[in-house]
Chains A and B, each alone.
Chain A
Amino acid sequence: MKHTLSVLVENTPGALSRITGLFSGRGFNIESLCVAATLDPTLSHLTLVTNGDRPIIEQIIKQLRRLIDVYKVVDVSEGEFVEREMALIKVRAEDETRAEVLRTCDIFRCKIVDVSPKTYTVEVTGPESKLNAVIELLCPLGIKEISRTGTIAMAREKKTALGRS
Chain B
Amino acid sequence: MTEMAGRDMVIEALKREGVDLIFGFPGGAIIDVYDALEKDGTIKHVLVRHEQGAAHAADGYARATGRIGVCLVTSGPGATNTVTGIATASMDSVPILVFTGQVPTGLIGNDAFQEVDIVGITRPCTKHNYLVKDVKDLPRVLKEAFYIARSGRPGPVLVDLPKDVQNSMGDFEYPEKIRLRSYNPVIRPNAKQIERAFELIERARRPIIYAGGGIIISGAHEELRALAEALDSPVTMTLMGLGGFPGTHELSLGMLGMHGTYAANMAMANSDLIIAAGARFDDRVTGKIEDFVPKAKIIHLDIDPTSIQKNVRVDIPIVGDCRMALKALLDMVRDSGRPAEAWAEQHQEWLQQIETWKARHPLRYKEEPGVIKPQYVIERLYEMTKGRAIITTEVGQNQMWTAQFYKFDEPRTFLTSGGLGTMGYGFPAAIGAQMAFPDKLVIDVAGDGSIQMNIQEMATAMEQHLPIKIVILNNQFLGMVRQWQELFYNRRYVATKFEMTPDFVKLAEAYGARGFRATRPEEVNEVLKKGLETEGLVVMEFAIAPEEGVFPMVPAGKATTEMLLV
Measuring CB to CB, which residues of chain A are less than 8 angstroms from any residue of chain B?
Answer: 9-10, 13-14, 17-18, 21-22, 25, 55, 58-59, 62-63, 65-66, 68-71
Report Cα–Cα, A18/B119, bound state, in Å: 11
Nearest A-chain residue to B306, judged by Cβ: A62
Nearest B-chain residue to A9, judged by Cβ: B182
Measuring CB to CB, which residues of chain B are less than 8 angstroms from any residue of chain A?
Answer: 119-120, 123-124, 127-128, 131, 148, 180-183, 304-306, 309-310
What total of A-B pairs shows CB separation below 8 Å? 36
The reply to whether B127 and A68 form a contact with Cβ atoms under 8 Å apart is yes
Ordered by A's residue number, 12 sampled pairs between the chains whose C-beta atoms are within 8 Å are A9-B182, A10-B182, A14-B120, A14-B123, A17-B120, A18-B123, A65-B305, A66-B306, A68-B127, A68-B128, A68-B180, A68-B182
The reply to whether B182 and A70 form a contact with Cβ atoms under 8 Å apart is yes
Report Cα–Cα, A141/B201, bound state, in Å: 68
Q: Decide: A68 near B148, CB < 8 A? Known: A10-B182, A21-B124, A25-B124.
A: yes
Nearest A-chain residue to B127, judged by Cβ: A68
The reply to whether A17 and B183 form a contact with Cβ atoms under 8 Å apart is no
Tell me which of A17, A25, A58, A66 contacts B304 (CB under 8 A): A66
Please give the distance in Å from B147's CB to the nearest CB on chain A: 10
Q: Decide: A13 near B309, CB < 8 A? Known: A21-B123, A68-B182, A69-B182.
A: no
The residues of A that contact B124 with a CB separation of less than 8 Å are 21-22, 25
Nearest B-chain residue to A59, judged by Cβ: B310
Q: Given contacts A10-B182, A18-B123, A68-B148, could you give 8 more A-B pairs where the C-beta distance is less than 8 Å? A: A14-B119, A14-B123, A22-B124, A55-B309, A62-B305, A66-B305, A68-B180, A71-B181
Nearest B-chain residue to A63, judged by Cβ: B306
Nearest B-chain residue to A8, judged by Cβ: B182
The residues of A that contact B306 with a CB separation of less than 8 Å are 59, 62-63, 66
* Interface residues of A, dominant DSSP: helix
The reply to whether B131 and A13 form a contact with Cβ atoms under 8 Å apart is yes
Nearest B-chain residue to A72, judged by Cβ: B182
Tell me which of A9, A17, A58, A71 contacts B123 (CB under 8 A): A17
Report Cα–Cα, A32/B182, bound state, in Å: 24
The reply to whether B119 and A59 form a contact with Cβ atoms under 8 Å apart is no
Please give the distance in Å from B144's CB to the nearest CB on chain A: 8
The reply to whether B310 and A71 form a contact with Cβ atoms under 8 Å apart is no
The reply to whether B309 and A58 form a contact with Cβ atoms under 8 Å apart is yes
The 9 closest A-B pairs by CB, nearest first: A71-B182, A68-B128, A62-B306, A68-B183, A62-B305, A25-B124, A63-B306, A66-B306, A21-B123
The reply to whether A59 and B131 form a contact with Cβ atoms under 8 Å apart is no
The residues of A that contact B305 with a CB separation of less than 8 Å are 62, 65-66
Report Cα–Cα, A71/B180, bound state, in Å: 9
Report Cα–Cα, A71/B179, bound state, in Å: 13
Report Cα–Cα, A141/B448, bound state, in Å: 71
The residues of B that contact A22 with a CB separation of less than 8 Å are 124
The residues of A that contact B120 with a CB separation of less than 8 Å are 14, 17
Please give the distance in Å from B179's CB to the nearest CB on chain A: 13
Please give the distance in Å from A61's CB to the nearest CB on chain B: 9
The residues of B that contact A17 with a CB separation of less than 8 Å are 120, 123
Report Cα–Cα, A18/B124, bound state, in Å: 8
Please give the distance in Å from B332's CB to the nearest CB on chain A: 27
Please give the distance in Å from A3's CB to the nearest CB on chain B: 16
The residues of B that contact A25 with a CB separation of less than 8 Å are 124
Report Cα–Cα, A17/B128, bound state, in Å: 12
Nearest B-chain residue to A15, judged by Cβ: B182
The residues of A that contact B181 with a CB separation of less than 8 Å are 71
The residues of B that contact A10 with a CB separation of less than 8 Å are 182
Report Cα–Cα, A135/B306, bound state, in Å: 40
The residues of B that contact A14 with a CB separation of less than 8 Å are 119-120, 123, 131
Report Cα–Cα, A90/B395, bound state, in Å: 60
The residues of A that contact B180 with a CB separation of less than 8 Å are 68
The residues of B that contact A71 with a CB separation of less than 8 Å are 181-182
Please give the distance in Å from B148's CB to the nearest CB on chain A: 6
The residues of A that contact B304 with a CB separation of less than 8 Å are 66
The residues of B that contact A9 with a CB separation of less than 8 Å are 182
Report Cα–Cα, A50/B128, bound state, in Å: 24
